[in-house]
Amino acid sequence: MHEPNFSIEFVAMIEEEGGRFGGGLLASRAMVGKVTRGQLDNFKDQEGISTAQAMKDFGLDPDRIQEAVRKPGTIEAFLELHIEKELKWYIGPYGI
């Protein structure tokens, strides 16, 4: 069995299209250090729930948002699997 020369990390990203909180690319921006703890309190959904509160409700700690930051040069490659929401444009029933 071949061992890779680098680690493999799986990351689930949320709110990339801004559907709930309207910010868009939230996880991607957090990974490059463009989201502050204060912004997590300010981004709110239609019911007034902040991103910070939603994170807490999901068992996450918004005070640790800076731990999501990846330093430049630390990611060798990136592959995104994206669930496509507009299946009507495709011939088959596949949403990936």
Average pLDDT of adjacent 10-residue blocks, the chain of 96 residues:
84 79 84 94 94 95 95 85 66 58
pLDDT of residue 59: 96
pLDDT of residue 67: 94
pLDDT of residue 21: 85
Q: What is the model's pTM?
A: 0.71
pLDDT of residue 20: 86
Separation of alpha carbons 57 and 80, rounded Å: 26
pLDDT of residue 93: 61
Backbone phi, then psi, for 89, in 5-degree steps?
Answer: -85, -5
